Structure 1
């Protein structure tokens, strides 16, 4: 049972962290860093900064193993007002907005992948939000199984790119200077900030603290091992890209760098497979957020910090799933998708 919960948390960690950022940020990070060596270092520093934050949350989470994560921590440490503001921001704005934005961008890739018209974008996004939301109303094992599938789906194209770039690339990843990418000057701080987008989402694992057996052991391990593994993956894929493509070409390609690499390495089918991998990756991201954000709604409702708290705090008798809170997040994400079109 210990292994099951630890394995589930690792899949949740990968699902919430690895999204589309690593596929599209190579060009912008390189441009900001100024040279290839500093670009690689930016991904490493971004991962280390994320890991230091993870160590902090792991320590707090071990002492406060409650459902709700950051909202509960802030309220218990700094008072109800600050906790309420943090929780309200996450459940009303950030959570639904990030789910809608990821679903919206994913739907663009889906229409391109299947050759559909732009008018299919919003319907596809809404169906994805609804389907993944409904799936998370069942037992945690259902969401865990989907996390396993999406994690494998996203790691396969990443592994292919890493292996091909490292072993078949012929450029020196550390030897490409600012002059080669025609950048006037590097801004390492901006490059690190750009990488943090790729690491975003790790803290949501703490929202499940109250549902984990032995949280004092599993939660810190899941956070620390999860972030460390992602740091290694991001560094390797960056080195692989720089081994296969010169910095000047990455600068020109920008967000299309990884897609170009996949197509060049594996032919036209490679670009299709990469698109499929990104779509699966983003489904995993939505799944991770749809699993974790309702826990904040539930925690706030338990503390009477939301209207209709009696209903929002309802748990199913058998699975102990916050179904009403999940519906709440689905509705808000749907509204943002339709009216704000993120």
Structure 2
């Protein structure tokens, strides 16, 4: 294997790591997905419960991951944990799915969201502004800006981790302050007494609103297993909005005092974001009615369920401050998505580096440049994310892999139990809080959601399993042609 030209530099302190966690978690989801959740569960109580359960799972997951991060504070994070708990095949399948869809799909999605909301300020950036059209292929100004965003952030991160952390700190702290500002303005000036009464009088009467081909086809009451299934399906959006909390573990070799600061940053970051998400959704419910009509003529008539293009945050801003406030929300989403893309770009490349070090990926990916970062892995990741932007399929791909994402989380947290048996004497600077009960609760909740998706949303489950399964022949191809006897 080629010699490294540089070495990792421990540049990420606790504040930097917290900004990595919070800044990467908060993308565009919190501004959008509550509309779909509202249609799934149809009541304010269950809308908040969905976000509360998501926050509980995220924080518990971070607590469990903390033990693994303390044991193995190395570049690669979850890939390394799966390798040590199971084998190279399981860990490779995770890395394969991360590269093919999870990380790169997220980078593509948030970069396109950044470009779309830039269009609010600069109308030239629009999906109707087609720059090139060949057959069914259309290249728009939004895709152009998204690719420029990916290339720019990839270049900055290739020049050293200091650049990446600077962007993350500036944009992460700015978006947190802006979100707290949005919450404060909503609570101080946006409360609508009539809306409050409407949303909270019967806050536990759940109803599912089914929309097909742009029209409401049915509204039905929920109870028993039907209610549980609806909550599980609704959590697809909230879980994606809260994902990437573990990305800081990918950069284990670059965190100062990683045995303590990785778990501290994950717990602080996930609790901070969970609190913000709950408060933001409370503001939504204080300003807009949850129930609405698709034919509504204004934001109050459309409600949360049918906000234009699912942009509930924009609708709330308009209800409170008019057109100028919607511009402010567009700027906030631009800041949020730019910071999220940066965090995903910075952290993801460390996983591909770790896979290549094991002889299971292209050899150049295992090199560090003189700045101490895996520049080759960064550029390959950027290239694939840019291709996903061009394809326009990243949104569907992200939907397809939620089942796989949860499956790998289950396997990783189960790894806490496995490694306590396999390596009982290994140093554990931090032990999972609430073990064995809380990790078991996470596994139970995640497994229940997976079961619900298998039964009611096979489109969310089987394609993800197929993507994971395609990695099996790729694993043996890399093992036999690059890794040899190493693995």
Could you tell me how far apart the structure 1 residues matched to 2:207 and 2:290 are? 7
Could you tell me how far apart the structure 2 residues matched to 1:26 and 1:240 are? 12
1:213 equivalenced with 2:256 (yes/no)? yes
Structure-2-length-normalised TM-score: 0.66
Contact kept in structure 2, 1:157 and 1:273, CA below 8 Å: no
Q: Structure 2: give runs of 5+ residues left out of the alignment.
A: 1-9, 130-139, 210-218, 223-229, 292-302, 395-487
2:366: which partner in 1? 313
Contact kept in structure 2, 1:176 and 1:247, CA below 8 Å: no
1:143: which partner in 2? 164
Query: What pairs up with 1:284-303 in 2 under 5 angstroms?
Result: 284-303=339-358
Task: Pick closer, same or farther for the CA change 1:4–1:296 going to 2, 3 Å.
Answer: closer
2:456: which partner in 1? none
Could you tell me how far apart the structure 1 residues matched to 2:11 and 2:141 are? 41
Contact kept in structure 2, 1:99 and 1:289, CA below 8 Å: yes
Query: What pairs up with 1:50-199 in 2 under 5 angstroms?
Result: 50-116=58-124, 117=126, 118=129, 119-168=140-189, 169=191, 170=193, 171-172=196-197, 174-177=200-203, 178=205, 183-186=219-222, 187-199=230-242
Give 1:134 deviation, angstroms: 0.5
Contact kept in structure 1, 2:206 and 2:221, CA below 8 Å: no
Deviates most, 164-173 or 72-81: 164-173
User: Larger Rg: 1 or 2?
Assistant: 2
Give 1:193 deviation, angstroms: 3.1
Task: Pick closer, same or farther for the CA change 1:242–1:180 going to 2, 3 Å.
Answer: farther
For CA contacts below 8 A with separation 6 or more, give which structure has more relative contact order.
Answer: 1
Query: What pairs up with 1:37-56 in 2 under 5 angstroms?
Result: 37-56=45-64
Deviates most, 58-67 or 262-271: 262-271
1:230 equivalenced with 2:273 (yes/no)? yes
Task: Report Cα offsets for 1:50-94 as digits up to 9, x if no partner.
Answer: 111111111111111110011111111101111122112212333
RMSD: 2.2
1:202 equivalenced with 2:245 (yes/no)? yes
Contact kept in structure 2, 1:96 and 1:332, CA below 8 Å: yes
Contact kept in structure 1, 2:105 and 2:385, CA below 8 Å: yes
Deviates most, 200-209 or 115-124: 115-124
Runs (4+) of structure 1 exceeding 6 A deviation are 179-182
Structure-1-length-normalised TM-score: 0.92
2:478: which partner in 1? none
Give 1:331 deviation, angstroms: 1.5
Deviates most, 6-15 or 144-153: 144-153
Q: Structure 1: give runs of 5+ residues left out of the alignment.
A: none
1:245: which partner in 2? 288
Task: Report Cα offsets for 1:181-225 as digits up to 9, x if no partner.
Answer: 975234222233331121011121110112212111101111111
Aligned residues: 338
Residue number among 328, 333, 337 corresponding to 2:380 in the alignment: 328
Could you tell me how far apart the structure 1 residues matched to 2:48 and 2:96 are? 36
| Higher fraction of strand | 2
Task: Pick closer, same or farther for the CA change 1:327–1:246 going to 2, 3 Å.
Answer: same
Could you tell me how far apart the structure 2 residues matched to 1:240 and 1:340 are? 32
| Higher fraction of helix | 1
Could you tell me how far apart the structure 2 residues matched to 1:92 and 1:230 are? 27
Could you tell me how far apart the structure 2 residues matched to 1:149 and 1:185 are? 46
Give 1:140 deviation, angstroms: 1.8
Could you tell me how far apart the structure 2 residues matched to 1:176 and 1:148 are? 42
